[in-house]
Amino acid sequence: MMSPRLRHALAGLTLTLVALAGSAGGAAPLPQPPEGGQPIVIGTSYVIPSALLGDRRRLNVYLPEHYDDPKRTFPVVYLLDGGLTEDFHHITGLARINAAYGAGQEVIVVGIEGVDRRHDLTSPSATAADRRLLPTSGGAAAYRRFLREEVRPFIAAHFRTGGRAALMGESLAGLFVAETLLKAPADFDDYVIVSPSLWWDRGALVDGAADDLRRGGYAGRRAFVAFDDPPPPAEAAARDRARQDRFAAALNGAGHGLEVTVIRPGEGHGGIYHPAALLAFRHLFGTP
């Protein structure tokens, strides 16, 4: 009878012989990219120190086609979740195609790369279930100051900005944009809010929206809001839709001076960002 040790040794030898036979049989090598290719560059990445956040953060900057014209200045879209593995590529593509053939204004896109988006994009929640779901949450106030006091001055000091500045985000980032609109409307001129997570803290942001808007500071500002179609089950979908409707009603209330556009593209949460962002570019930065 063969011992276990000998059986193990023979099995290893068999695998080795099979591997050698495969290599000796002239198996085709895996394809490799040809030499001499040129990298495709759509922007430039910068790392800036943040005293407010106590670390260093990456900004990815897309400059439009005619930025080389020294006489021109450009509006800026500040994109949350703006890392290279996040939303930078597809949003900059939309910015470029919106400006093609003179169909819209050329814009600078500044992607703010996420680190811990669950922390940076949420305010503290009084709901225990939220804190269990996102245990690092609660850093939105500091992140808002970071955008206002560190990111925007850096961009203004190094690029030819002019005209309006927009803040754009989806999901938790959409919640952050909505909260910035309500709590600190002077921070930006335009607010692009896509599929915002209005469920956070049991809809507290929606509950206080009308009171926030009554405080004013909205003259000349614009909000572009795109809501997803809430998924089943029916009870949860109805609750989410009701929050969306209440938020839209508060924004559309009279007297605060905010220009509001609300759309429902008929997309779920996972598919809404691309079509909604294109419509936002056309609406906010289109050619008259």
- Model confidence over 108-158: pLDDT tens digits? 999 999 999 999 999 999 999 999 999 999 999 999 999 999 999 999 999
Q: What is the pTM of this model?
A: 0.89
pLDDT of residue 3: 54
pLDDT of residue 113: 98
- From the number of C-beta atoms within 10 Å of its C-beta (0-12, 13-18, 19+), residue 30 rates as exposed
pLDDT of residue 179: 98
pLDDT of residue 9: 46
pLDDT band at 10; cut points 50, 70, 90: very low
Average pLDDT over residues 100-105: 87
pLDDT of residue 166: 98
* 6 has a pLDDT exceeding 60: no
Structure-model confidence comparison of residues 4 and 267, the more confident one: 267
pLDDT band at 239; cut points 50, 70, 90: very high
Token representation of residue 236: 């949860």
pLDDT of residue 26: 62
- Model confidence over 61-74: pLDDT tens digits? 999 999 999 999 99
- From the number of C-beta atoms within 10 Å of its C-beta (0-12, 13-18, 19+), residue 242 rates as middle
pLDDT band at 101; cut points 50, 70, 90: confident
Token representation of residue 60: 């990815």
Do residues 251 and 209 make contact, with C-beta atoms less than 8 angstroms apart?
Answer: yes
Residue 61: phi, psi to the nearest 5? -115, 125
Range from 16-20, 90-94, 97-101, 168-172 carrying the lowest mean pLDDT: 16-20
* 7 has a pLDDT exceeding 70: no
Q: Provide the CATH topology of domain 44-285.
A: Rossmann fold (3.40.50)
- Model confidence over 74-94: pLDDT tens digits? 999 999 999 999 999 999 999
Q: What is the DSSP string of the chain?
A: ---HHHHHHHHHHHHHHHHHHHHHTTPPPPP-PPTT-------EEEEEEETTTTEEEEEEEE--TTTT-TT--EEEEEEES-STTTTHHHHHHHHHHHHGGGSB---EEEEE--SSHHHHT----S-HHHHHHSTT---HHHHHHHIIIIIHHHHHHHS-EEEEEEEEEETHHHHHHHHHHHH-GGG-SEEEEES--TTGGGGHHHHTHHHHHHT---TT-EEEEE---PPSSHHHHHHHHHHHHHHHHHHT-TTS--EEEEE--S--TTTSHHHHHHHHHHHHHB--
Q: What is the chain's Cα-based Rg?
A: 25
pLDDT band at 232; cut points 50, 70, 90: confident
Do residues 225 and 262 make contact, with C-beta atoms less than 8 angstroms apart?
Answer: yes
- Would you list the domain boundaries of the chain? 44-285
CA distance 264 to 103: 23
Range from 46-55, 178-187, 229-238, 255-264 carrying the lowest mean pLDDT: 229-238
Average pLDDT over residues 153-180: 97
- Any idea which residue has 């680190």 for tokens? 115
Structure-model confidence comparison of residues 240 and 12, the more confident one: 240
pLDDT of residue 231: 86
- Any idea which residue has 């953060």 for tokens? 57
pLDDT of residue 49: 97
Sign of dihedral through CA atoms 23, 28, 31, 36?
positive
